[in-house]
Amino acid sequence: MWHLDPGRLFDAEPTQRAAARAIFEAAAELPLICPHTHVHASLFSSEGATLGTPAAVFVVHDHYVLRMLYSQGIHLESLGVPRVDGHWTEQNHRQIWQVFAEHFHLFRGTPCGLWLKQELIQVFGIQQRLTGETAQAVYDELEEKLALPPFHPRSLFERFNIEVLTTTDGPTDTLDHHKGIAASGWGADIRPTFRPDAETNLTSENWRNQIERLVLASGVTVRSYGTFVQALQARRQYFKMMGATATDHAACSAYTEELSRREAETIFQRGLRGEATDEDARRFTGHMLMEFARMSVEDGLVMQLHIGSVRNHNEQLYRRFGPDVGADIPRPLEFTDNLRALLNRYGNDSRLRLIVFTLDESAYARELAPLAGHYPALRLGPPWWFHDSPNGIRRHHDRVVETAGLQNTVGFNDDARAFLSIPARHDVWRRTAASWIGGLIAGGLVDLAAGKEMMLDVAYRLAKRAYRFDENRSEFLVHTKREGRDD
Amino acid sequence: MWHLDPGRLFDAEPTQRAAARAIFEAAAELPLICPHTHVHASLFSSEGATLGTPAAVFVVHDHYVLRMLYSQGIHLESLGVPRVDGHWTEQNHRQIWQVFAEHFHLFRGTPCGLWLKQELIQVFGIQQRLTGETAQAVYDELEEKLALPPFHPRSLFERFNIEVLTTTDGPTDTLDHHKGIAASGWGADIRPTFRPDAETNLTSENWRNQIERLVLASGVTVRSYGTFVQALQARRQYFKMMGATATDHAACSAYTEELSRREAETIFQRGLRGEATDEDARRFTGHMLMEFARMSVEDGLVMQLHIGSVRNHNEQLYRRFGPDVGADIPRPLEFTDNLRALLNRYGNDSRLRLIVFTLDESAYARELAPLAGHYPALRLGPPWWFHDSPNGIRRHHDRVVETAGLQNTVGFNDDARAFLSIPARHDVWRRTAASWIGGLIAGGLVDLAAGKEMMLDVAYRLAKRAYRFDENRSEFLVHTKREGRDD
Amino acid sequence: MWHLDPGRLFDAEPTQRAAARAIFEAAAELPLICPHTHVHASLFSSEGATLGTPAAVFVVHDHYVLRMLYSQGIHLESLGVPRVDGHWTEQNHRQIWQVFAEHFHLFRGTPCGLWLKQELIQVFGIQQRLTGETAQAVYDELEEKLALPPFHPRSLFERFNIEVLTTTDGPTDTLDHHKGIAASGWGADIRPTFRPDAETNLTSENWRNQIERLVLASGVTVRSYGTFVQALQARRQYFKMMGATATDHAACSAYTEELSRREAETIFQRGLRGEATDEDARRFTGHMLMEFARMSVEDGLVMQLHIGSVRNHNEQLYRRFGPDVGADIPRPLEFTDNLRALLNRYGNDSRLRLIVFTLDESAYARELAPLAGHYPALRLGPPWWFHDSPNGIRRHHDRVVETAGLQNTVGFNDDARAFLSIPARHDVWRRTAASWIGGLIAGGLVDLAAGKEMMLDVAYRLAKRAYRFDENRSEFLVHTKREGRDD
C-alpha cells in the first residue's frame, strides 16, 4: 500500500530524530497561518464551489508540474494548457492525467513530488501508487471524491485547520469574493494582500490601462504623480478595511532610490505619454519601493519584497501560452548597496515591517542575515519558491539563523497557488524545521525546552506576529459577522 | 597494511548507510560511461603502448598534483615540468617521485588524495603507505608493474570495464589514432569530441594559423564567415562519421547573442586582418555558441558548455611552462540573462541537447536548476573539476535535484586527463550518490525500489542517454569492424 | 543547574562522535594562538587593570550583542551606548543588564549566545540560567568576581592559556602599552599588528589629519607619495621591532592595480589638496595593496586582507553613535580578476605570505580555494565575523579544504574585541573542526593518525606557522626581558 513514512524528513540519527519528533509533536496540532498565498478567493465565496477535475487540480493549473513535464519534452498543449491563439489543446482530462501519471517518476526527490504524494494519500486517501497502470483507477477515485461536499474548498479549509489565509490581489480588485466570504457568515479568516506591481511598472504594455482602472477603483483622477500616490493610498485604505495586513512587491532587483518630487513627476508624465525608458522604469520602481515603505510606516501594512525573478524568460512560450507557465527564472542579486537608500530612510523605524524574499541563496548569509540582524524594520522571509523544499529549508536555517537570530525571521509562507498543497507544504516546513532544531538539541546548543519554544515560533507564532495578525482583525469582517449574528 | 575502507564515503548513520550500501551494490558491476575525458587516443592506438614512469604518470602530467605541490612552494622545475625555454628541469624521475611522496600528506582531505591512494592500492596493489621512507620501494614496484602487459593501457581499459570513452579533439585533428584503434580490430568504443575553441577565439595569438589548419583539414577555402561555418560543419560531419556524439565549448562567460550575418562577416574579416578587439572576440564567441546550437539542432551532436574558467591566470608560470600547469581559476557567473538569446532561439527544440557545466556553484540552485527544470533542450552537467569531490557532489545533488529533477541531469563525467584516475573518480561519484540517495530513503522521501532506479540512472543510464550513445554507433567503427571480421 | 554539554558541537552519530572526541582530546590542552584580535593592549599594561562592570563587559562594548538587541527594536541609548552629541544614555548598568537578560533568548542558535553562555559558566562559574528573573543575582555574582584578582585581565590571560596574542593598531600608535607590558617583566607574548587603513583611504574626512600624525610618528616629512611610502616603511620597521609579524588591510573590494609612480604621485597630491575623487581613492587603495605586498616581500611581515565589509551602512546610527555599533554589512565579491595584478606580481614569491578573509562565502570554493591551492604566497583565512560560527566553520571546511588543501589555510583567528570570548571562540572552532575531521575518519577518508595530525594543525600549528610566530620573537621583548632578568 502506498503510504507516507511517519518519520519522514527527520534526520535518521536516533538522538536528533528523537528530539525532532518530540518538538514536532508539540507543534503538530497548531493551526496553519498562511500569510502569503496565490489561492483565489472565489474558491470560498460560494458554498458549493468545487475544485474541478483531477487533471485541472493537479496538472493544468500547477506550474510546478507543468514545467517539469515540459522540461522533458512534453508539449503544454498535450497537458491542456490553453493557447493564447485559441488553437487546440488537449481537452480530455483523463488523457492529461494519463500523461502525468506515466511521468510521475520525474518528481522523485523533488518537493513537488512530495506534496503531490501527500495530497493524494492524506487528502484523498489514495492507496495505490500513481503510475501509468493505476492512472485511470486513481482518476476515478479522485473524480468521485472531488464531487463530494467534504472535498469542497470550504470543507477542506476547515479540515486543513487554517487559522488565517491571505490572497494576493491587484489594487483595482473589487475584493467582491472577499466580501462574499464575509457576507456568507462562514467565518473563515481570509484576507486580501495589496500587490501593486502592475501599477508601478511604467514600461509594461498594460500600464496605461492599469492606471485607468486605478482611477475607476479609487475614484481619484490620476493626472499627476501626486494623484497617482493618492489613488494608491486610497486603495490601501480599502484593502486594510477589508482585513489586509500586508502589501507585496516584486522587482527584478532590490534597487531603491528616492527621487525628488519633480523627477518623479517628470518620469510619471513620460510614462503617461508612453515614452518612459527602461531606465525610467527601473528608477521609478526603486522610488516607489521607498514610497510604499513610507506608506507602510503610516498605515501599518506589512511590506513584502519578492526580489529577483525574471518573469517569462521563455518568450516563445509566453507568446503561445501567456504568463505563469513555468518560465520565471532567478538571477543573481545584491542587497547591501541596493536596499541602502530605503533602509537608511526607514529601516530604523519599527513601525515599518519589511519582509524580504530572495531566490539567490548566496545572499542569505552574506547580506540578508546581517541586514536583518541589524535594522529593526527588516525581517527575512522564508525560503521562496524553488527553495521551499527540504534542502532549501535546511540551507535557509543553516545560513540565516546564526547571524540574524530566529526572531528576525517570519516563520513560513506556503506561497501556494495550489490550495490542496497547503497542508503538505506546512508539513514539510515543520518537519524539516523540527529536524534542524533537533540537531541543535543533539549538538548541545539548545535544551529541549528552548527547542520547543523555537518550534512554536517557526511553526506558528513568528508568522502570526510578523504579519500583525495578532494586532488586526478585519474591520469589515468583524462588522459583517456581527451583523450576520444579529440576523 | 595500507587499505581502502570498504564503506568509504557512505554516511556513518546506520540506516542511511545500509540503504546506500544496498543501492550501491545494485550498481557496482555496471560498466563505466566516460562521455567527457581528456585522455589521449594515442594511448590505445597501438597495442604495445605503455603509460611511462611512475613519476610521469602520477606527477609530471597531473595538474591536480602539480598545483598542490606548487602552492606549497615546490618549484615546477623540480617536478620535471618542461620549460618553454628549454632550461633545466629535473630529469631524475626517482627524485621527482621522492618529492611527491614526501608531500603526500598535502593531499589529506582532497579528492585528488583519494584517487591517488585508490589508484595505488586498487590498480597496482601497493600495500605500504606512500611516505618519504617508502617512496623508492613503491617506485620499484610501480615501475615493474607498469612494464607488464596487464598494466598497458588497453588491458587497463578492459579491466576498468569502460563501455565507452570519448576523447576531446580540435576540429583540425585527423583522428588518426581513433582510426588506428578501429582498424586494429580491438573493439573498444573510443570516440572523439569536437572542441573548436581555438577556431572561435579571434584574439588568440594562434587564431590565423588555426584557420589555415582548418582549411587544410576541411578542404574548404576559408575567406569569409560563410566559408568558415562551412569548414566547421564539414569537420563536424567527419567527427560524427568517426563516432562523435558531442561537441564541447569553453567560454569565460555564458554570453550569447545572435549577430546579423553582416556583423558576423565584418567581425570575422577584422579577425583575419588581425584587427579584432576584445569586444569583437566576446561577441563573436557569443554568436558562435548560437551557431553551434543551430548546427547541433541539425546534426544531432550533443553540445557541451564549460563556462567560467579564466585560463592561465598566472602569467609568469604560463610564460615559463605554457598552458595547463594548474593556474586556471573560476570566476562568478550569470546564466539567466546571458543564455537567454540561445535558449529563446533553440531551447524549446528537443533536437538540441545542451549540457552546461559551471564552476560557480552559487548558480546551481539559483539559475541552472530552474533553467534545466524548464527548457527541454537543457541539461545540467555533473560537478566540474574542483567540484568533482565528495563535498562537491553532495552540494550538487543537494542544490540541483529538488528543482531540476534527476532526469534533467546527465550522470557523471570523469573529465580525466589521468587515465588511471577514471575508476576512482567513478567510484567516488557512485558512492557519494549512493549515500545521498540513501539519505532520501532513510528520510522517507523515496522507497528502496525508487532509490535503486535513481542509482542506476546516476551511475549509468543518464550519461548513456544524455550523450546519445544508445542511439549512435560509430559508422566508421562499425564499418571497419565488419571489414575486420571479414578478413 | 545551567551547564555546558561536554559533547557539544560533535556530530550526534556515534562513530563520527567518537572520532571527533578522540582527536579533540588530543588537542584540548594546546595553548591558544591569537594572531588577530581587537583586544586593547591597555588591558594588560598595568597589573591592576580590571574589565569593568558586567554590563560594560558583556553588553555596552559588544557589537554582536548590541546589533541583535537593536534589531528587535531596543534603542542603543537604553543599552548605555554613548551618543556622539552627548545626549542621555542609560547609566544604570544594572538596568542595562536587566534588558540584556530579558532578551537573552534572542541569542538562541547564534554563536554569540554560545560564547556568552560559555563565558558565564566557564569563566565565572554562573550556575543559574540567565533570564529576567535571575538577572540581578547573576549581576551580583559577576560584579563581585570581576573585582577579584583572578578575574583581572592578566590572570585570565594566563588561565586562558594564551601563548601569543596580537592587537590591531594604527601606524601612528606609539605602542606604549605594548612597551609597558614588556617593561613590566610579566612575560606574556602580546604583539601589535600594523593596520594602515586610515592612512590609505584618501577620501575619508580624517585623512589629512592622519597624514600629519604619520609625520609625527615616523619623523618623515610627507610631502609626496615617495615620502609617504618612506613614512609607512619606517613605521613598519618600528612595529616589527615591537614584535609585529603581520599587517592587516581592509578594503571594500579586492581590486588591485599597480599605478605608475607618476600616477600615484598625481593622485596623492590631489588627496593632499582635498580633491581626490572616489575613483582616485579606489585606485589608490588598489595600488597601495600592491605596495604593501612589495613591502611584505622585503620585510617579511605577513599581509592580511579583510575584504568586503561596507562600514557604517546605517548612516543615522553612525551619526548618532559613531563607528562600530553593528552596521557593517558584507557585499558580493570577486577575487579572480581583482587580485590578479597583485598575484601576478608577487604571488609566486614565497617570501610574501598573503592571508585573505572574505564575508562572501560563495567565493570560498569558486575563487579563493583554487587561488590558494595554486599561488605559493596565498593562504586562506578562517571564517570571518558572521561566519565564525558552527555552521560557518562547517561550510568553510566543506568548501575550502578539498580544493585548497588544509596546508593552504591558516587555522583559527578569534578576531575578538571581547577578551572574555576568546576561549569560547577557540573552543567552538576546535570542536567543530574535530567533528569535521571525525566525519572524514568515519567516512574512511583519513585514518585516525592522520586525523590527529590534521587536528593539531587546525588547532595550533597552522596559525603559529602562518603568522611566522615560530620564526620571530619580538626583538624589543627579548631585549627588555633580558634586561629585566639582569636587574
* pLDDT 10s digits, B347-387: 999 999 999 999 999 999 999 999 999 999 999 999 999 99
Contact list in A for residue B439 (CB cut-off 8 A) is 12
Q: Give me the sign of the Cα torsion angle A214, A218, A224, A229.
A: negative
Q: Band of the pLDDT at C475, cuts 50, 70, 90?
A: low
pLDDT at A177 over 70: yes
C-alpha cell at B449: 525500489
Interface test with A, best of B13, B337, B353, B403 (most A CBs within 10 A): B403
Neighbours of A400 (CB within 10 A): 25
Give yes or no for residue A210 having a pLDDT over 90: yes
Q: Which CATH topology does A50-150 take?
A: uronate isomerase, domain 2, chain A (1.10.2020)
Chain B residues close to A4, C-beta within 8 Å? 444
pLDDT digit string, tens, across residues A266-289: 999 999 999 999 999 999 999 999
Q: Cβ–Cβ of C329/A404 closer than 8 Å?
A: no
Over the stretch B118-161, which tens digit does the pLDDT of each residue have? 999 999 999 999 999 999 999 999 999 999 999 999 999 999 99
Q: How far apart are CA B242 and CA B182, in angstroms?
A: 9
Question: DSSP class of residue B364?
Answer: I
- Per-residue pLDDT, C474: 52
| pLDDT surpasses 80 at C338 | yes
Q: Has residue B403 got a pLDDT over 80? A: yes
pLDDT for the residue A47: 87
Residue from C403, C447, C448, C453 to probe the interface with B (highest B Cβ count within 10 Å): C403
Name which of A71, A316, A368 to mutate to probe chain B: the one with the most chain B Cβ atoms within 10 A of its Cβ. Answer: A71
Q: Do A314 and B348 touch (CB under 8 A)?
A: yes
The answer to whether the CB atoms of B362 and A360 lie below 8 A apart is: yes
Within 10 angstroms of residue C137's Cβ, the number of other Cβ atoms is: 12
* Of A473-482, B178-187, C273-282, the least confident: A473-482
**Where does A280-390 show beta strands of DSSP type E?**
302-307, 309-310, 329-330, 354-358, 378-380
**In this structure, which amino acid lies at residue A199?**
E
pLDDT top residue among B477 and C29? C29
Looking at chain A, the whole-number percentage of residues with pLDDT higher than 90 is 93
> What pLDDT is recorded for position C483?
42
* CA A403/CA A373 separation, integer angstroms: 6
Q: With the C-alpha atoms ordered A63, A65, A70, A74, is the resulting torsion angle positive or negative?
A: negative
Chain C residue with the nearest C-alpha to that of A396? C391
Neighbour subunits, B (≥3 Cβ pairs < 8 A)? A, C
A347, closest residue in chain C (CA to CA) = C314
Contact A445, A406 (CB under 8 A): no
DSSP readout, B271-318? HHTT---HHHHHHHHHHHHHHHHHHHHHH--EEEEEE-EETT--HHHH
List chain C residues with CB under 8 Å of A367: 329-332
pLDDT band at A474 (very low <50, low <70, confident <90, very high): low
| Mean pLDDT computed over every residue of chain A | 95
Decide if C431 contacts C10 (C-beta within 8 A).
Answer: yes
Cell of C144: 563581585
The pLDDT tens digits for C234-252 are 999 999 999 999 999 999 9
Nearest CA in chain C to A16: C12
* Distance of alpha carbon C130 from alpha carbon C2, whole angstroms: 9
Phi–psi pair at C250, nearest 5 degrees: -105, 145
Query: Which chain A residues are Cβ-neighbours of B373 within 8 angstroms?
Result: 67-68, 71
Q: What is the mean pLDDT of residues B282-304?
A: 98
**Summary mean pLDDT of chain B:** 95
**pLDDT value, residue B474:** 52
Q: pLDDT at position B483, please?
A: 43
Q: Average pLDDT, stretch A221-241?
A: 98
Chain B residues in contact with A332 by the CB 8 A cut-off are 332, 334, 362-363, 366-367
Inform me whether the pLDDT recorded for C307 exceeds 60.
yes
Q: Are A192 and A167 spatial neighbours (Cβ–Cβ below 8 Å)?
A: yes
B286-297 residues labelled b (16+ CB within 10 A) or e (exposed): bbbbbbbbbbbb
The three three-digit cell numbers of residue B268, written as one number:
570575422
In this predicted structure, the answer to whether residue B106 has a pLDDT above a threshold of 90 is yes
Residues of C in contact with B11 (CB under 8 A): 13, 443
pTM of the predicted protein model? 0.96
Asked if B109 lies within 8 A of C362 by C-beta distance, the reply is no
What is the band of A486 on the pLDDT scale with cuts at 50, 70, 90? very low
CB crowding A15-46: b at 16 or more within 10 Å, else e = bbbebbbbbbebbeebebbbbbbbbbbebbbe
Task: Output Rg (C-alpha) for chain C, integer angstroms.
Answer: 23
**HEC-encoded secondary structure of B8-60:** CCCCCCHHHHHHHHHHHHHHCCCCEEECCCCCCCHHHHCCCCCCCCHHHHHHH
Chains near A with 3+ CB pairs less than 8 A apart are B, C
Q: What are the E-state strand segments in A275-432?
A: 302-307, 309-310, 329-330, 354-358, 378-380
Which DSSP category does C307 fall into? E
CATH number for the domain running over C153-486: 3.20.20.140
Q: Quick one: closest CA in B to A329, which residue?
A: B370
Contacts of A406 in chain C (CB under 8 A): 108-109
**How does pLDDT run across C161-175, given as a tens digit for each residue?**
999 999 999 999 999
Q: B-C interface: how many C-beta pairs under 8 angstroms? A: 130
CATH of B50-151, one of 3.40.50.300, 1.10.2020.10, 3.40.50.12780, 1.10.10.60: 1.10.2020.10
Are the CB atoms for A369 and C386 separated by under 8 Å?
Answer: yes
How far, in Å, are B176, B387, B466, C373, C409 from residue C403 at the CA level? 36, 8, 28, 6, 11
CB count within 10 Å of CB A379 equals 24
Q: In this predicted complex, what is the ipTM?
A: 0.96
Assign A487 a pLDDT band (cuts: 50, 70, 90): very low
Nearest Cα of chain B lies from the Cα of A387 at a distance, in angstroms, of 8
**Which of B108, B329, B391 comes nearest C371 by C-beta?**
B329
Q: Do C450 and B108 touch (CB under 8 A)?
A: yes
Cβ within 8 Å, pair A9-B442: no
Residue pair B252/B243 in contact by the 8 Å Cβ criterion: no
How is domain B162-411 classified at the CATH fold level?
TIM Barrel (3.20.20)
pLDDT for residue B470:
81
Say whether pLDDT at B19 is over 90.
yes
CA distance A351 to chain C (A): 10
User: Going by CATH, does the domain composed of C50-149 fall within 1.10.2020.10?
Assistant: yes
Chain C residues within an 8 Å CB radius of B118: none
Chain-chain contact of B313 with C453 (C-beta, under 8 angstroms): no
Cβ neighbours of A111 in B, within 8 Å: 402
Residue of A340, A361, A366, A407 for testing the chain C interface, max C β-carbons within 10 Å: A366
Domain ranges of chain A: 50-150, 153-486
- Report the mean per-residue pLDDT for chain C: 95
**pLDDT of the residue at C200:** 97
- pLDDT the model gives residue C340: 98
Burial class (CB in 10 A: 0-12, 13-18, 19+), C143: middle
Which stretches within A11-92 are classed as H helix?
14-27, 42-45, 54-55, 63-71
The pLDDT of residue A102 is above 80? yes
Pairwise CA distance, residues B456 & C46, whole Å: 70
CB A332 within 8 A of CB B379: no
Query: Is residue C478 over pLDDT 60?
Result: no
Q: Which residues contact C273 (CB under 8 A, 6 or more apart)?
A: none
Among A374, A409, A458, which would you mutate to test the C interface (most chain C Cβ atoms within 10 Å of its Cβ)?
A374
pLDDT, tens digit (0-9, with 9 covering 90-100), for B446-473: 999 999 999 999 999 999 999 999 876 6
Q: Please compute the mean of the pLDDT values over residues B235-253 and round it to a whole number.
A: 97
Give the tens place of pLDDT for each residue, C65-101: 999 999 999 999 999 999 999 999 999 999 999 999 9
Helix (H, G, I), strand (E, B) or coil at C435: helix
Residue A436 reports pLDDT greater than 70: yes
Per-residue pLDDT band for A480 (boundaries 50, 70, 90) equals very low
C371: amino acid identity, one letter: L
pLDDT class of C487 with cuts at 50, 70, 90? very low
Rounded to a whole number, what is the distance in Å from the CA of C224 to chain B's nearest CA?
Answer: 32
- pLDDT confidence of residue C473: 60
Are the CB atoms for A101 and A134 separated by under 8 Å? yes
B324 band by pLDDT with thresholds 50, 70 and 90: confident
**pLDDT, position C48:** 87
Mean pLDDT calculated for residue range A111-140: 98
B195 has a pLDDT exceeding 70: yes
Distance (Å) from the alpha carbon of A399 to chain C's nearest alpha carbon:
7
Chain B residues with CB under 8 Å of A9 CB are 443-445
